[in-house]
Amino acid sequence: MRILYVCHRFPYPPKRGGKIRPFNMIRHLAQSHEVVVCSLARSAEEAEEGKGIAPYCAEFHVATVDDRVQTLRMIATLPTPITASASYFHSTKLARTIRRLLRERRFDLIFVHCSSVAHYVAHVRDVPKILDFGDMDSQKWFEYADYKPFPLSLGYRWEGWRLQAEEKRLARGFDFCTATTRAEWETLKSYGVDTPSDWFPNGVDAQAFAPSAEPYDPEAICFIGRMDYYPNQHAMFWFCEHVLPLLRERRPNVKLAIVGADPPPSVRKLGELPGVTVTGSVPKVQPYVTRSALTVAPLAIARGTQNKILEAMAMGVPVVSSRVAAGGVDAIAGEHLLVAETPEQYRDAILRLLEDPSERARLAAAGRARVLSHHAWGSSMKRLDAIIDKCLASFVAPSPASAGEGGRAAAG
């Protein structure tokens, strides 16, 4: 089967959430099918690095865009119904490439990851199409609005409404829709769209993220995540202001490592606090995690699966998480990870692990076992295969007349 796979961030190397899920799908599908990948890169360096995907697909096409131009595109849409998200991830070059591929070849399936790039193939009617929303991004914009000052909050809420309307429209135009977690799937179903849908989870490379035989530092905790991402920034500002002082009252030598690429000056300034280190980009996060007694994920804004939680659990390092962040992981609070909400609850949960090595060992073993049993890419990809089979089995090709109106003829 020949599959056209479209995604919003070039899926190699799989170092961040927006790349990990599509890369693992592409790698899996390419074992049995011919997969043609179309995506975007934000710099010449990213495009060059992305060439490493060649062994994992039959062919790939990348359009390099300039963030400044994309930002202007996004701003220009503010007074219109067109979403800023779709504008930001639009490339005329990529659109031309996809139209050419659809005109010159016969594809058996079109698979799109992320609604922000679904517009590239929304017109196609004579090929079965699956849209993997991953997360329902509109809900994230609504959550941002609650944390942004007026009048900026109005802009975020406006984008949330536009994006929610677009998600509903796109869902109706595809033959099958998927999400990353059951919670995101429930949100999709709440839209009342008749398109068949399901969910399949993110997995973890349990070999790349494995426990270490080296001893851990009983005073070290860490946070992992890209620091140019607002929810991660908000989490660390809150944690350093409200939780860390409580911890240091009880354990003055506690250290916090904030590990993640592209921290802005406001995040780097956290490194001036006693015991806090802001690393910036690192070659690998694994050494920082395995040297820590635990990791924290105190996110107030969290949609879908938090890979930082899964990876820490896979490495046998306990996690103390917000309830909303833990909700994207198939794990039981108290059994596989600890959940907290208030500063005092975070303090008590963290101290419980720092002061009781047997409790830390219990959660470490239980967390890794849960990842292996519920977040393995192999079992997730079996769910994906079943979803594709359902989509293909139920697809009804349009009549030649209607296909000419909205299908391959329009693609040309």
Say if residues 386 and 196 touch (Cβ distance below 8 Å): no
Looking at the predicted structure, is the pLDDT value of residue 278 above 70?
yes
Same fold, 2-203+377-411 and 217-374: yes
Nearest 5°: phi and psi at 290?
Answer: -70, -20
Say if residues 262 and 289 touch (Cβ distance below 8 Å): no
Q: Of the candidates 145, 141, 200, which has an alpha carbon nearest to the alpha carbon of residue 166?
A: 141
pLDDT grade for 249, boundaries at 50, 70 and 90:
very high
pLDDT (tens digit, 9 = 90+) per residue, 307-323?
A: 899 999 999 999 999 99
Q: Which two tokens stand for residue 333?
A: 């609070």
- In this predicted structure, what is the pLDDT of residue 401? 58
pLDDT (tens digit, 9 = 90+) per residue, 150-179?
A: 888 998 899 999 999 999 999 999 999 999
pLDDT grade for 406, boundaries at 50, 70 and 90:
very low
Least confident of 203-217, 372-386, 397-411: 397-411
2: left (phi over 0), alpha (psi -120 to 50) or beta: beta
Q: Which two tokens stand for residue 209?
A: 């993220």
β-partners of residue 220 are 255
The SS3 of residue 320 is strand
Q: Higher model confidence: residue 95 or residue 76?
A: 95
Task: Kindly state the average pLDDT of the residues 183-204.
Answer: 94
Q: Cα–Cα distances in Å, from 10 out to 52, 215, 368?
A: 11, 36, 29
Say if residues 110 and 132 touch (Cβ distance below 8 Å): no
Class level of CATH domain 217-374: alpha beta
pLDDT grade for 18, boundaries at 50, 70 and 90:
confident
Q: How far apart are CA 213 and CA 191, in angstroms?
A: 48
Q: Which two tokens stand for residue 248?
A: 């240091």
pLDDT grade for 402, boundaries at 50, 70 and 90:
low
- In this predicted structure, what is the pLDDT of residue 400? 65
Q: How far apart are CA 300 and CA 321, in angstroms?
A: 10
Nearest 5°: phi and psi at 151?
Answer: -95, 0
Report DSSP letters for 181-224, one per residue.
Answer: SHHHHHHHHTTT--S-EEE----B-TTTS---SSPPEEEEEEEE
Q: How far apart are CA 84 and CA 67, in angstroms?
A: 13
pLDDT (tens digit, 9 = 90+) per residue, 83-121?
A: 989 999 999 999 999 999 999 999 999 999 999 999 999
Task: Kindly state the average pLDDT of the residues 337-350.
Answer: 98
The SS3 of residue 227 is coil
Q: How far apart are CA 225 and CA 270, in angstroms?
A: 15
The SS3 of residue 291 is coil
Q: Which residue has the tokens 């007349």?
A: 401
The SS3 of residue 250 is helix
Q: Does domain 2-203+377-411 have CATH number 3.40.50.700?
A: no
Q: Which two tokens stand for residue 165?
A: 């309307």
pLDDT grade for 328, boundaries at 50, 70 and 90:
confident
How is the chain split into domains, by residue range? 2-203+377-411, 217-374
